């Protein structure tokens, strides 16, 4: 075997593919030692997802500069998590520093990895030693310091790997969280595995597709259980949401972006260039952060994970049945937290920019776009894959899953959930029941409310589903709208009927039962319409007992809300189970100032 004196594009490409494979194959091992900065147990999964993007999106070429650039771009586009973005920034730095050359020597490689390590430190406002960045730096510094000693890549990678292993071992004593848990840094472990995989391919000269079986990697599970670390409490999660995005624009200022992020977030990593910036941060207000970041460029994707819910599911899980709802089903944050309900956001597209309903676009922020005439707004169901990914994650903690979706006649969310179920069942044996609420807003919310209570009371899944279907049959929604424009636009109200109502300046009174919307009355004036709706509720409720009702609205006037609620309490002799505001995706159907009362009757 000849000595490897230079590195070409083919050799770099297949060594990096091998490094990525190594991470994917050991991701569960990495997840189990993930305790810093938060023990959310997903560092291995995030690094594996980043590696997968590299494997399937980077391009093989004989020229090393083309390969390095391709790998860096693929890493940035697919990076997940703090460590994933850091690894991506390192690889992006390599790509940026390898210019106009077909191959490089060991001396040139030493210069490049040292500069790429500097890229990593520039991406983090407050670098924390004892993590992946330390392992990268010490590995790169060793290579750079000894650049005139190494003449071949076999020796370079073999000796430098030992240095990386030693740096990794020292992380246990560098961070208190690692010392208490008696583990090394998870991200650092991932990087050591990465360079180990690179070394193995370089030493074996495995530089062809036949040497690397990458197709089987599609079968790997990227949603392993979270690390069983006890060093974190729920209260110590000062910023609840792990948030990621990629900004694409021209002449974007990293310093300006950092200034915005530092206002209300931590665990910040900024990777990329002035044309593409990959962001990772933790915040309590992802929607506000995205609103402020929008001025810099366009978002290619948005990811928000609820770390507090993840932590509680791992350490304080209340039930054996997981409950999942989409964001068209309105429940208060307090109720969601109490019952550990999992949310799948609807997509809200505003002028071709996609946001996550509730998570990255709130009712308050949505209003400034909704009220503008020339702004294009669309909503779309979550992808089947988003459901499948969630089911895969939940399978590690729950025996079964119940999903409630908004009305299948309004949204394709129900179909997406069914398709997501098919996807996950092709890989895992799980019990998943998917229920069509045949309602949205309050009507769906009250069904969700009773499902959560049944789960809390320990009923069997079969009985919970049976009760839910019975409640849906016995649930009616009564609605008032300040405007019917969006009912007509979305096809919920016929153009002919809508045109007459508008021409006569009437306010409609509507009722929904089993997914069917009907105009039950009209009135001149919104308050009169509310009064007539209350009369319709009284008539509907004569000689009938109710299980409960929920009052949902889209920024209804406070006086009107108080008037409505007082009348409802007189009718039913009790307050609503919940008073809540609907999400932006629902507002897009019903407009602002609308009211929805969902009532479930006894049999």
- For 273-330, the pLDDT digits (tens) are 899 999 999 999 999 999 999 999 999 989 999 999 998 998 899 999 999 999 999 8
pLDDT at 91: 96
Does residue 211 carry a pLDDT above 70? no
- Phi and psi (nearest 5°) for 407? -50, 120
pLDDT at 487: 63
pLDDT at 506: 77
What does the pLDDT look like over 431-441, one tens digit per residue? 999 999 998 78
Burial class (CB in 10 A: 0-12, 13-18, 19+), 272: buried
Rounded mean pLDDT of 33-52? Answer: 83
Q: Is the peptide bond before 566 cis (omega within 30 degrees of 0)?
A: no
With 0.85 as the threshold, say if the pTM is over it.
no
* Residues contacting residue 566 through CB under 8 Å, at least 6 positions apart: none
* Max avg pLDDT among 26-35, 156-165, 371-380: 156-165
- Greater confidence, 554 or 373? 554
Which of 22-36, 223-237, 245-259, 585-599 shows the lowest per-residue confidence on average (mean pLDDT)? 223-237
Distance separating the N- and C-terminal Cα atoms of the chain = 81
Q: How confident is the model at residue 225 (pLDDT cuts 50, 70, 90)?
A: very low
- Greater confidence, 524 or 210? 524
In whole angstroms, give the CA distance from residue 554 to residue 364: 10
The enclosing H or E element of 503 equals helix 495-503
Rounded mean pLDDT of 28-51? Answer: 84
pLDDT at 520: 81
266: left (phi over 0), alpha (psi -120 to 50) or beta: beta
pLDDT at 219: 46
CATH architecture under which domain 6-211 falls = Alpha Horseshoe (1.25)
Does residue 218 carry a pLDDT above 90? no
pLDDT at 521: 80
Q: How confident is the model at residue 99 (pLDDT cuts 50, 70, 90)?
A: confident
Structural domain spans, the chain = 6-211, 475-601
pLDDT at 401: 98
Which of 33-42, 179-188, 540-549 shows the lowest per-residue confidence on average (mean pLDDT)? 33-42
In whole angstroms, give the CA distance from residue 246 to residue 235: 29
In whole angstroms, give the CA distance from residue 71 to residue 77: 10
The enclosing H or E element of 269 equals strand 266-272
- Greater confidence, 34 or 565? 565
475-601 folds as Hypothetical Protein Tm841; Chain: A;domain 3 (3.30.1180)
Q: How confident is the model at residue 224 (pLDDT cuts 50, 70, 90)?
A: very low
- Phi and psi (nearest 5°) for 457? -80, 0
């Amino acid at each position: 075997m000849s000595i490897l004196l230079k590195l070409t594009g083919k050799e770099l490409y297949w060594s990096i593919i091998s490094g990525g494979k190594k991470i994917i194959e050991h991701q569960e091992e990495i997840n189990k030692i993930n305790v810093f900065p938060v023990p959310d147990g997903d560092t291995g999964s995030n690094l594996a997802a980043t590696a997968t993007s590299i494997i399937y999106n980077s391009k093989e070429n004989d020229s090393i500069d083309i390969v390095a650039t391709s790998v860096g771009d693929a890493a940035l586009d697919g990076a997940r998590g703090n460590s994933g973005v850091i690894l991506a920034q390192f690889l992006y730095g390599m790509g940026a520093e390898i210019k106009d050359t077909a191959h490089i020597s060991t001396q040139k490689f030493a210069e490049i990895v040292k500069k790429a390590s500097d890229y990593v430190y520039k991406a983090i406002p407050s670098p924390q030693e004892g993590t992946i960045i330390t392992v990268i730096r010490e590995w790169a510094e060793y290579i750079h310091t000894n650049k005139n000693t190494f003449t071949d890549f076999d020796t370079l990678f073999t000796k430098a790997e030992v240095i990386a292993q030693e740096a990794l071992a020292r992380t246990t004593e560098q961070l208190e969280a690692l010392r208490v848990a008696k583990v090394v840094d998870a991200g650092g472990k991932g990087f050591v595995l990465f360079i180990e995989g690179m070394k193995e391919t370089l030493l074996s000269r495995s530089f062809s597709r036949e040497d690397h079986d990458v197709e089987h990697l599609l079968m790997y599970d990227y949603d392993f259980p979270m690390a069983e670390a006890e060093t974190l409490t729920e209260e110590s999660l000062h910023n609840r949401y792990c948030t990621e995005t990629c900004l694409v624009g021209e002449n974007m200022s990293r310093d300006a972006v950092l200034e915005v992020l530092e206002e209300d977030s931590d665990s910040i990593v900024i990777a990329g260039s002035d044309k593409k910036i990959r962001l990772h941060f933790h915040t309590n207000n992802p929607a506000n952060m995205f609103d402020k970041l929008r001025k810099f460029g366009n978002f290619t994707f948005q990811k928000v994970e609820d770390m507090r819910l993840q932590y509680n599911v791992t350490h304080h899980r209340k039930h054996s049945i997981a409950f999942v709802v989409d964001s068209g089903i309105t429940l208060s944050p307090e109720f969601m937290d109490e019952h550990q309900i999992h949310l799948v956001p609807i997509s809200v597209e505003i002028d071709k920019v996609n946001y996550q309903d509730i998570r990255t676009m709130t009712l308050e922020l949505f209003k400034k776009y909704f009220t503008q005439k020339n702004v294009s707004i669309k909503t779309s169901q979550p992808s089947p894959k988003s459901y499948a990914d969630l089911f895969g994650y939940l399978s590690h903690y729950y025996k079964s899953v119940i999903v409630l979706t908004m009305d299948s006649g309004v949204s394709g969310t129900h179909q997406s959930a069914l398709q997501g179920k098919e996807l996950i069942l092709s890989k895992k044996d799980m019990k998943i029941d998917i229920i069509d609420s045949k309602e949205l807003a309050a009507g769906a919310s009250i069904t969700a409310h009773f499902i959560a209570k049944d789960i809390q009371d320990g009923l069997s899944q079969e009985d919970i589903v049976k009760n839910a279907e019975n409640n849906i049959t016995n649930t009616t929604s009564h609605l008032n709208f300040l405007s019917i424009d969006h009912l007509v636009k979305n096809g919920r109200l016929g153009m002919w009927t809508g045109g007459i109502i508008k021409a006569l300046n009437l306010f409609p009174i509507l009722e929904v039962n089993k997914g069917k919307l009907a105009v039950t009355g009209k009135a001149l004036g919104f308050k009169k319409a509310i009064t007539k709706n209350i009369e319709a509720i009284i008539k509907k409720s004569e000689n009938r007992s109710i299980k409960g009702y929920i009052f949902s609205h889209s920024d209804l006037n406070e006086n009107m809300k108080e008037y409505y609620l007082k009348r409802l309490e007189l009718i039913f002799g009790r307050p609503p189970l919940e008073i809540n505001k609907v999400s932006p995706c629902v507002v897009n159907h019903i407009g602002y100032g609308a009211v929805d009362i969902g009532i479930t009757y006894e049999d």
